[in-house]
Amino acid sequence: MTRTTEAHPDLPGVRGYSSNIFSFSLLSPALHLPGHLCRTRPTDLVFVVDSSRSVRPVEFEKVKVFLSQVIESLDVGPNATRVGLINYASTVKPEFPLRAHGSKASLLQAVRRIQPLSTGTMTGLALQYAITKALSDAEGGRTKSPDISKVVIVVTDGRPQDSVRDVSARARASGIELFAIGVGRVDKATLRQIASEPQDEHVDYVESYNVIEKLSKKFQEAFCVVSDLCATGDHDCEQVCVSSPGSYTCACHEGFTLNSDGKTCNVCSGGGSGSATDLVFLIDGSKSVRPENFELVKRFINQIVDTLDVSDRLAQVGLVQYSSSIRQEFPLGRFHTKKDIKAAVRNMSYMEKGTMTGAALKYLIDNSFTVSSGARPGAQKVGIVFTDGRSQDYINDAARKAKDLGFKMFAVGVGNAVEEELREIASEPVADHYFYTADFKTINQIGKKLQKKICVEEDPCACESIVRFEAKLIL
């Protein structure tokens, strides 16, 4: 994203955003900043959103996209960032309090349900409610602490019908950080009266709602305070550092094993145990799959499970289903026998919604292969992604990161699956790691081609790879 830093001609010291910059989709690549991985500090965040009559319904939808993009960049949770939202016009409507939603998915759903009020513009009244009610203990606000930020983001496009100066001053004096976003013919003085210092960091202006999404990157950067420990080099792994939120684990290159200290590596020298693999399926449960085909997909999974040496020492299996949201069916290590895994697969219900493959890949990286989810340090990490259509979100950054972390990624496409996306997901050599068939009824043929062999030799160095695909599908 290209963001201008020239001052707006009518508003000195306030950044302006030009409408000729391309717009972002809901899951914008701007939310994934290469080389700038981070997490957000615990924050009580309240949005105060103007939906007066000057904001047309189509423009209000643009505001909702912007809100969703900011929420996507946050670490949401009861002990992380809590989000509340106030909708205002002539009156104030609290849409949801800080305590209402403990997950990002439920927050995004709540934002989608908001409707404009389409009356006047009582910005001062809305700010007063945010300070006295929305951030209170009763609404889910936490006790003031150096470790928890209190933030209010105001979005408005007009001149308020009441005063904002005094209420904003009281908020700033109490330690609340105020951001003011102005759109179109907004009163510029109002933005300055609301915002915290320094104002060039807390006041933003866009000329129309069509470009408000550009601001999502600015707020990701504003809330990002804890760097990825692997990216900064603040770790003591001898060979490979694998990040997790606020932490990391160590791993080794192929041909080495992780020592008991969890940090250093040894060259394989024989006489050890067999090789370990953590295998996670990412399964498309979107409505285009259809119930009868979803049953074929479950048979395909169990066909592959049948080829594995499942045990605590060798192969572990996890399963994630995705559509418009992500659902972990079972984590690595929950089941210790093929029989139990296959029963869990058969009992899996069909989600039947959209196709958010990028979000599913991000879930694999952030959750499925973490120690807390049953993954084992030093075990080969294998992901098998199954999809039948084009992703509705951006997949490239998450697909690249999975491979950069050393995960062996296979992509299986059926029907309307997009070859370009399959190739983006697949590990090198790409031709050996992605498969496609036009008909669900023939996916068992892919299963036959995916002959996975778990290394069981006494010398783990004798294994060229943990999972070997001995043949690829030729259509």
Q: Give residue 121's pLDDT.
A: 93
Q: Give residue 216's pLDDT.
A: 85
Architecture of domain 7-226: 3-Layer(aba) Sandwich (3.40)
| Span 368-420, pLDDT tens digits | 999 989 999 888 899 999 999 899 999 999 999 999 999 999 999 888 888 88
Least Cα distance to 214 among 47, 469, 5, 426 occurs for 5
Task: Look up the CATH number of domain 268-462.
Answer: 3.40.50.410
Structure tokens at 181: 């976003």
Least Cα distance to 447 among 291, 281, 198, 219 occurs for 281
Q: Give residue 378's pLDDT.
A: 86
Chain Cα centroid distance, residue 214: 18
pTM for this entry: 0.47
> Helix crossing, 216-223 with 57-72: angle to 10°?
30
Q: Rounded to the nearest 5°, which phi and psi values hold at 91? A: -125, 170
* Calpha distance 372→398 (Å, rounded): 20
Least Cα distance to 407 among 428, 440, 382, 432 occurs for 382
Residue ranges for the chain with pLDDT beneath 50 = 1-37, 267-274, 452-475
Residues of the chain with CATH 3.40.50.410: 7-226, 268-462
* Calpha distance 363→265 (Å, rounded): 28
The partner residues of 205 in beta bridges, in order of sequence, read 16, 182
Q: Give residue 42's pLDDT.
A: 87
Sign of the torsion formed by the C-alpha atoms of 269, 270, 271 and 275: positive
